Structure 1
Amino acid sequence: MDTPFTPRNWYYVFEESQGQAFSSETQSYVPSDTVPQERLTKLARGTTMNDLITLFREQSVPPYHRIEKSIILSRLGDAKSELAFAIATVGQRLRWNAPDKPWVNADDPEMKAIIIAIGEDPTTVLAPA
């Protein structure tokens, strides 16, 4: 019986990995001979980590998932949201208000820094919905 593809708990081998497989669950490399072969994907030649991150974003695999801005605002509440806007730069506010992107990448370092600066935990605020 085939194992269904579950990108949150899968292993990927890059052409140049040399005996290592990248685990989407632990976000680290593990020896490929310790991986269940039915959960192993050999990536096409030329595939990069950025390509894999794009796949993870599309499949909402933490920590590369996207989270709706409305969820972030509800988790922060009014006071913390106002504080975050107050300390954000003009560029950060423009990106936040961009109508074509109702979400943020959960691994965005600027977003994490703002959340930490207002005294909140980015792991909690940016957790998958």
Structure 2
Amino acid sequence: MAIIARARAMRKALTPPEARLWVQLKLLRTQGFHFRRQAPFRGYYLDFVCFDRRLVIEVDGVTHTVEARANRDKMRNAVLAGEGFTTLRFDNAAVRDDLDGVMGGIMGALEAPPTRSLRDHPPHEGEGDKPK
């Protein structure tokens, strides 16, 4: 339950660039792309994820340029790639200054052929099989 509570708190505390991108990602629902924000997955909290297209979008602040943090990001990307996800990373300045370019990159990834079955993703909390 702590995981869900933390994810909810993180959703309420989006950074300005994350909030700006979230507005645009929600608009993609009309095109059939459903994103979740601050979704817990394999021990990580994904900024934005479209499970159907196996696409993770991360909005990175300046702390991600520090070597130790960059190494953790590489490990995280490798874990997610092992699960069939593509991770796109955009820095705060790109979201602030070139939102059209960021959205163009996201649309390109969304329109690419999927790497796994579109049904091969975890259910939302409370969905799926109940434990036996």
Please state which structure has a larger fraction of its residues in helix.
Answer: 2
Indicate the structure (1 or 2) with the bigger Cα radius of gyration: 1
**TM-score category of the 2 structures, normalised to the smaller one:** under 0.3
Please report the TM-score for the alignment, with normalisation by the length of structure 1: 0.26
